[in-house]
């Protein structure tokens, strides 16, 4: 394997984002032919084909997908080195790409960003709020915030905060329908759930227990279920992060069962690599972790 040129690596990362030779060329101030030539040189240096090429577009090969996080790490390391030794080293720089669940994003991430961007005027942020599991390596995200247990062993996980599941209802619903005290009594109640979670999870005698039920209401996001629960439509099992404010104000009431406990989850930050975390990632995570600790305590 020959020595790689960092300019060729930068070109590769831009092309991986655009999947279009002309767009990549415009962004880099080069001709499409020059981009193709540099890409061919990088593939020669690596001894692997990185893109499939057609007349209209390019797409990463499996070797290209494997190389992408390393390429980004190389570019981040170069940028970090330049910043470290530059005279103007004030704050984080560059584009921070975050993906997070919509509920966590709206309640805990968005409120942090104005101050974070003010303190770091050279940092830009691309925030994707989605309840779908996003391929952070393939789509080029710096960090993913997740609540679900980690399934992808290729990602690096950092625990930000505990986040237990909470069985809850509005005071009006409980006043009308009564408060369940056992798992069996849940069958007598209207139940609400998100589309992503097909059953409620509890812990009984140290073992996970799934409670299956026919829901009265299903919604594809947390906000919909929380809104219906507050309106008195039924019981819901959400996480503490989802309903922290409503529990504090009394709009929702936590329900404790005598024969089972709710399942403990956590809020995680996931990274594509642990080799190098840019300053923009660490300042964001420090701010988020501090906020979660203050709000969830």
pLDDT, position 245? 92
Residue 30: its pLDDT value, please?
A: 87
Tens of pLDDT, residues 34-90: 888 988 898 888 888 998 887 667 889 989 888 888 888 888 777 766 655 554 455
Q: Taking the model in full, what pTM does it have?
A: 0.67
**Residues lower than pLDDT 50 in the chain:** 87-88
In this predicted structure, what is the pLDDT of residue 153? 58
Residue appearing with tokens 């984080």: 92
User: What backbone phi and psi angles, to 5 degrees, belong to 151?
Assistant: -110, -30
């Amino acid at each position: 394997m020959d020595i790689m040129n960092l300019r060729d690596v930068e070109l590769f990362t831009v092309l991986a984002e655009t999947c279009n030779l002309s767009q990549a060329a415009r962004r880099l101030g080069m001709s499409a032919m020059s981009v193709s030539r540099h890409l061919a040189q990088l593939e020669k240096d690596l001894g692997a084909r990185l893109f499939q090429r057609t007349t209209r577009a390019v797409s990463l090969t499996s070797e290209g997908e494997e190389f992408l996080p390393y390429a980004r790490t190389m570019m981040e390391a170069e940028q970090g080195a330049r910043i470290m030794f530059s005279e103007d080293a004030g704050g984080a720089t560059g584009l921070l790409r975050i993906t997070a669940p919509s509920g966590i994003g709206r309640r805990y991430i968005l409120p942090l960003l104005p101050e974070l961007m003010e303190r770091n005027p050279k940092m830009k942020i691309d925030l994707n709020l989605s309840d779908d599991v996003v391929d952070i390596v393939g789509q080029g995200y710096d960090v993913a915030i997740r609540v679900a247990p980690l399934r992808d062993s290729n990602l690096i996980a950092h625990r930000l905060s505990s986040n237990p599941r909470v069985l809850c209802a509005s005071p009006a619903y409980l006043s009308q329908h009564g408060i369940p005290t056992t798992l069996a009594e849940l069958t007598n109640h209207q139940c609400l759930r998100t589309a992503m979670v097909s059953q409620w999870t509890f812990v009984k005698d140290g073992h996970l227990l799934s409670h299956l039920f026919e829901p009265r209401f299903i919604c594809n996001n947390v906000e919909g279920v929380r809104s219906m629960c507050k309106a008195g439509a039924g019981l819901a099992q959400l996480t503490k992060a989802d309903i922290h404010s409503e529990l504090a104000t009394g709009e929702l009431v936590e329900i404790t069962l005598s024969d089972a406990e709710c399942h403990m989850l956590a809020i995680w930050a996931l990274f594509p690599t642990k080799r190098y975390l840019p300053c923009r990632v660490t300042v964001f995570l420090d701010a988020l972790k501090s906020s979660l600790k203050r709000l969830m305590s």
